[in-house]
Amino acid sequence: MHSLLKIFFTGMLVSFLGSLPLGTLNIAAMQISISDGVTSAMLFSMGSLLAEIVYVRVSLVAMDWIRKQERVLKALEWITLLIVVALAVSSFYAALHPNVQENVVLSSSLPKFVLGFVMSALNPVQIPFWFGWSTVLFTKKVLLPRSGHYNSYIMGIGIGTFIGNCVFIFGGILIANTISRNQDILNLVIGGIFALTAILQLWRILKKKDPVHQLEHPEELTHKIEEQMEKIEKIEEGLEKITHYHHKEKE
């Protein structure tokens, strides 16, 4: 496989798989799709992935500088926690008040693209995530310090994140249509997910399992990533075999 194509698919796969576990941004996108429609949810996702792309680009060239911003990262962790708590409270409020059909925070007057960008930019969790992956890819010489590699990597990440968010956006619409008469139950479930996310965020901060700790001890992160990288390489090998097989058939 061509090196640029390989780094593109690697970035896309990592980003897509990383977007699937329940988190603040994908659940927020799902709730927006239910309350404000697919277009608003898409704009929210585009804003959030733009912030992610900026973080990735900066992490590729200025990680030493980012590591020194410990106070800023700590502040962002607490701000993120407050946002998630606010999202949980708003969802519970909507569940307990049938006349309220939407999350007050997510349905604010702020443009959805800007809301997505701000919420993603304030979430420091993605910094060590992409630092760890980039480090492993550099070590394995899959990713090289070249502008072409960086651009291909970032394009793959953006598309992977967007596809992952679409799973939640259209999944949210499907769920909403299925239980259209039980909107309060859906808000209760979403509120519960936000509440669990907030508890997990607080636990990480108090137990020092947060992004600051991960950046100070990258070996803990890269060891897990190397194991995941082996699985991704197997997927890529499978794709190469399929492509090669189709080429032979055409010949």
**pLDDT score recorded for residue 160:** 92
As a residue count, the chain comes to 251
Supply the DSSP string of 178-205, one letter for each residue.
Answer: HTTT-HHHHHHHHHHHHHHHHHHHHHHH
pLDDT beyond 70 at 181: no
What's the average model confidence in pLDDT over 107-112?
Answer: 81
pLDDT beyond 60 at 212: no
- Give pTM, 2 decimals: 0.76
pLDDT beyond 70 at 1: no
Extract the tokens encoding 233.
């390489």
Amino acid, res. 19: S
The kind and range of the H/E element at 210 are none
pLDDT beyond 60 at 111: yes
159/52 Cα distance (integer angstroms):
12
At 96, the pLDDT band (50, 70, 90 cuts) reads confident
45/48 Cα distance (integer angstroms):
5
At 66, the pLDDT band (50, 70, 90 cuts) reads low
Report the candidate in 247, 232, 188 with the shortest Cα–Cα distance to residue 6: 232
What's the average model confidence in pLDDT over 102-121?
Answer: 83
What's the average model confidence in pLDDT over 139-145?
Answer: 82
Residues 19-51 pLDDT 10s = 888 888 888 898 888 888 889 999 999 999 999
pLDDT beyond 70 at 227: no
pLDDT beyond 80 at 54: yes
**pLDDT score recorded for residue 213:** 58
89/91 Cα distance (integer angstroms):
5
Average pLDDT, the chain: 79
What's the average model confidence in pLDDT over 207-235?
Answer: 64
